[in-house]
């Protein structure tokens, strides 16, 4: 009877697993045009700015007939990436848009994950199912896999390398091909793709130590030759520009790695890796399963034999550890760099948890096992502390948590080591522990995805659509948000981030850029590089997630450059008069003409509301705010702006009813975007200091 129940339970688990896999595949293709999740607030701006820089050259080729319309080679690394090349094919077939750009990312990242799963086809069905569930339900792989980052090209190349090498590693041609594939990981993916050399060499060493140097030489020589040939094919005489780019992006902007300055700093960098970027914040049960897997492998008497016989386990372990040790050294190590490590991490978990639950484990001890277990416990507890700190907004990730983790890890190590037999028996004696953790992991990932889709917004698309209306067709947009705001229209854009180590003071003299799309941080850096920018003409303002983006019309005279041919739109003319508070009747002359052609323009309706407020027609102004809310109910800024208007009106009238309305609309804005508390406080504080 118990056998029948177990068989039924297994079938139910397998059925649920396949359901998760199907859903994990499907959600990658749903609402491809929406913004990244709001809960990634605080993780930097990369999800908003970087993806469409990669597809920039492919877009230019399709729309304007040239890959580089300004012959500016600073970002040549993007041009020859796999993500760029594949997006060109997608654009060719489906046209240029945010959706097709994101679709190219989905296809490439998903293909890499599927190839990686197929590389594990020799594993048990249970291990393959666990691996598939972990990878296809992982929210971070889904989020980053829906935007055209370089890392998605790397994931594809890593998956392809895994699939081919594990299957054919004993063939000489595969040794040469693995060197070529590793070179492509470096030059068509990301530079840190070089870590794929480590698992390749690890398998060769474990397979036949006597032939290691000869067979390993094939791989290394192939890698070196491939790097030279591909670099020349890609960059030609511009290799120096690529080297300069790599140097700037690694040590130039962020300084020499502090991990190399002392053993203490090295330990802090290593044990906080992942936690500071919230690698496990969105999936703590994945961290728990990794801890159980590594501790189980360390304590199991079968571990050495298992690693030697199971080449996939060795491949995943060496890939994960090599990636961790390389990336942890640098001062800048954002979450997107670490996402490709989720593949070997999931592989380790799938193999270890299934292999260690097959039969009763014999526990083995010794100095090296005890030391490795201590390091794993230390890392685990540091990550737990960082995870807990991430739940408290007032606390920021700190390297000091390494030493708290040392104490906590020591306690966990002592408990596990003293009661190792019972620990192994409880964790691996029955599969229920593994099953429960896997279910909890999937539930948490599903909850994040539901939160994202339930509160979805498309402010990037709306802003780009609005920008194409308020700026003329001859406009050339520059700045960190230029590519993101032009992917859905035919405006020309120019990639540039301010505050770089190698700035270009003559940039605005060399290129016919007309408008800036920029956030306040980059704006402060921009006016340092080009002081004439502070006389530019403010055009419009948009909120994207927690970032306020300004569109600014450049002032040719203030920049001391020749006038760039450009015809102002009616909106720009109206805004020009309004910003100078001159001839206010001219605002109402040009603005209705613009709105007759673009009746849903956010910027124009916002200007109309401000105009009414300025002339004392408050009810009309608030009525325009209501119209904006009706048009864009999922954009928190429509509620936010009305709340701000109410608050300013309250300061001039001291009418408590207006204050109540202000608080009500700030509350509505917060219900759409719960991460704007600081923005509300800053807005009120600024109004208090300026309104008399």
β-strand pairing of 547-553 with 537-544: antiparallel
Question: Within its chain, how far is the Cα of 476 from the centroid?
Answer: 26
Q: How far apart are CA 644 and CA 642, in angstroms?
A: 5
**pLDDT at residue 383 in the model:** 94
The residue with greater pLDDT, 249 or 175, is 175
Buried b or exposed e, range 617-650, using 16+ CB within 10 angstroms? ebeebbebbeebbeebeebbbbbbbbbbbbbbbb
Helix (H) or strand (E) holding 84: helix 82-94
**pLDDT at residue 307 in the model:** 86
Q: Give which of 263, 280, 496 is closest to 380, Cα–Cα.
A: 280
Q: How far apart are CA 178 and CA 222, in angstroms?
A: 8
What integer is the mean pLDDT of 179-188?
Answer: 94
**pLDDT at residue 421 in the model:** 87
Q: 284-299 vs 342-355: helix axis angle to the nearest 10? A: 50
pLDDT, mean over the chain: 90
Render pLDDT for 23-65 as a digit per residue (tens, 0 to 9): 888 999 999 999 999 888 777 788 889 999 999 999 999 999 9
Q: Give which of 615, 604, 528, 606 is closest to 573, Cα–Cα.
A: 604
Render pLDDT for 203-246 as a digit per residue (tens, 0 to 9): 999 988 888 999 999 999 999 999 999 988 888 877 777 777 77
Q: Where are the alpha helices (DSSP H) in 331-458?
A: 335-338, 342-355, 367-389, 401-418, 420-429, 432-454
Render pLDDT for 397-413 as a digit per residue (tens, 0 to 9): 788 889 999 999 999 99
Query: How buried is 510 (Cβ within 10 angstroms: 0-12 exposed, 13-18 middle, 19+ buried)?
Result: exposed
pLDDT tier at 360, thresholds 50, 70, 90:
low
Question: Within its chain, how far is the Cα of 669 from the centroid?
Answer: 25
Q: How far apart are CA 431 and CA 426, in angstroms?
A: 9
Indicate whether 66 pLDDT > 90.
yes
Instruction: Tell me if the pTM is above 0.85.
Output: yes
**pLDDT at residue 1 in the model:** 45
Q: How far apart are CA 327 and CA 333, in angstroms?
A: 7
- Contact call for residues 489 and 466 (beta carbons, < 8 A): no
Buried b or exposed e, range 29-61, using 16+ CB within 10 angstroms? eeebbbbbbbbbeebebbbbbbbbbbbbbbbbb
Render pLDDT for 626-646 as a digit per residue (tens, 0 to 9): 999 999 999 999 999 999 999
The residue with greater pLDDT, 180 or 524, is 180
Gyration radius of the chain over CA positions: 28
What integer is the mean pLDDT of 431-457?
Answer: 91
**SS3 at position 615:** coil
Indicate whether 162 pLDDT > 90.
yes
Render pLDDT for 134-145 as a digit per residue (tens, 0 to 9): 999 999 999 999
Q: What are the residues whose beta carbons fall under 8 Å from the beta carbon of 509, sequence distance 6 or more?
A: 559, 561
């Amino acid at each position: 009877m118990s056998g029948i129940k177990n068989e039924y339970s297994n079938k139910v688990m397998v059925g649920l697993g396949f359901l998760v896999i199907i859903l994990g595949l499907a959600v990658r293709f749903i609402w491809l045009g929406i913004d990244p999740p709001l809960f990634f607030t605080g993780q930097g701006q990369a999800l908003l700015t970087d993806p469409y820089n990669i597809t920039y050259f492919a877009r230019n080729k399709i729309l304007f007939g040239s890959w580089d319309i300004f012959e500016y080679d600073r970002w040549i690394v993007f041009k020859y990436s796999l993500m760029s090349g594949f997006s060109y094919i997608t654009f060719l077939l489906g046209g240029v848009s945010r959706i097709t750009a994101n679709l190219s990312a989905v296809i490439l990242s998903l293909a890499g994950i599927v190839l990686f799963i197929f590389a594990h086809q020799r594993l048990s069905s249970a291990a393959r199912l666990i691996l598939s569930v972990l990878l296809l339900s992982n929210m971070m792989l889904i989020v980053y896999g829906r935007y055209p980052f370089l890392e998605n090209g790397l994931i594809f190349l890593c998956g392809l390398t895994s699939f081919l090498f594990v299957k054919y590693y004993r063939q000489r041609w595969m040794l040469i091909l693995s060197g070529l594939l590793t070179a492509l990981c470096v030059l068509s993916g990301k530079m840190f793709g070089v870590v794929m050399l480590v698992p390749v060499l690890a398998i060769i060493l474990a397979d036949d130590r006597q032939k290691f140097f000869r067979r390993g030489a094939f791989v290394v020589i192939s890698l070196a030759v491939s790097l030279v040939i591909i670099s020349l094919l890609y960059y030609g005489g511009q290799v120096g520009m690529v080297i300069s780019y790599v140097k700037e992006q690694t040590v130039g902007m962020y300084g020499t790695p502090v991990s190399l300055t002392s053993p203490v700093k090295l330990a802090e960098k290593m044990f906080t890796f992942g936690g500071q970027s919230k690698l496990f914040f969105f999936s703590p049960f994945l961290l728990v399963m990794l801890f159980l897997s590594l501790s189980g492998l360390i304590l199991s008497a079968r571990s050495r034999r298992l690693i030697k016989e199971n080449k996939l386990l060795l491949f995943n372990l060496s890939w994960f550890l090599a990636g961790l040790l390389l990336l942890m050294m640098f001062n800048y190590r954002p979450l997107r760099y670490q996402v490709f490590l989720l593949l070997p991490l999931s592989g380790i978990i799938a193999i270890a948890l299934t292999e260690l639950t097959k039969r009763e484990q014999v526990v083995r001890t010794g100095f090296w096992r005890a030391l490795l277990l201590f390091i794993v416990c230390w890392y685990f507890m540091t990550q737990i502390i960082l995870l807990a700190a991430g739940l408290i907004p007032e606390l920021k990730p700190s390297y000091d948590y390494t030493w708290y983790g040392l104490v906590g890890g020591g306690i966990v190590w002592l408990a596990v080591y003293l009661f190792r037999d019972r620990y192994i028996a409880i964790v691996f004696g029955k599969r229920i522990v593994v099953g429960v953790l896997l279910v909890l992991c999937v539930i948490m990932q599903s909850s994040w995805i539901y939160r994202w889709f339930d509160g979805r917004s498309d402010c990037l698309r709306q802003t780009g659509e609005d920008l194409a209306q308020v700026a003329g067709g001859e406009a050339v947009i520059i700045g960190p948000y230029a590519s993101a705001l032009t992917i859905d229209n035919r405006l020309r854009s120019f990639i540039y981030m301010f505050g770089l180590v190698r700035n270009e003071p003559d940039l605005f003299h060399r290129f016919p850029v007309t408008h800036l799309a920029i956030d306040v941080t980059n704006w402060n850096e921009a006016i340092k590089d080009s002081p004439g920018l502070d006389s530019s003409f403010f055009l419009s303002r948009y909120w994207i997630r927690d970032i306020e983006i300004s569109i600014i019309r450049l002032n040719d005279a203030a920049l001391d450059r020749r006038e760039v041919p450009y015809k102002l739109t009616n909106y720009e003319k109206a805004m020009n008069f309004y910003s100078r508070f001159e001839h206010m009747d001219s605002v109402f002359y040009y603005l209705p003409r613009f709105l007759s052609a673009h009746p849903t323009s956010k910027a124009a309706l916002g200007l109309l509301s401000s105009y009414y407020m300025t002339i004392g027609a408050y009810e009309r102004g608030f009525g325009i705010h209501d119209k904006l809310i009706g048009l864009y109910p999922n954009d928190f800024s429509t509620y936010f702006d009305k709340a701000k208007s109410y608050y300013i009106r309250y300061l001039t009238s001291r009418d408590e009813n207006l204050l109540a309305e202000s608080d009500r609309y700030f509350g509505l804005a917060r219900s759409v975007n719960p991460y704007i508390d600081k923005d509300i406080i800053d807005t009120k504080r600024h109004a208090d200091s300026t309104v008399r």
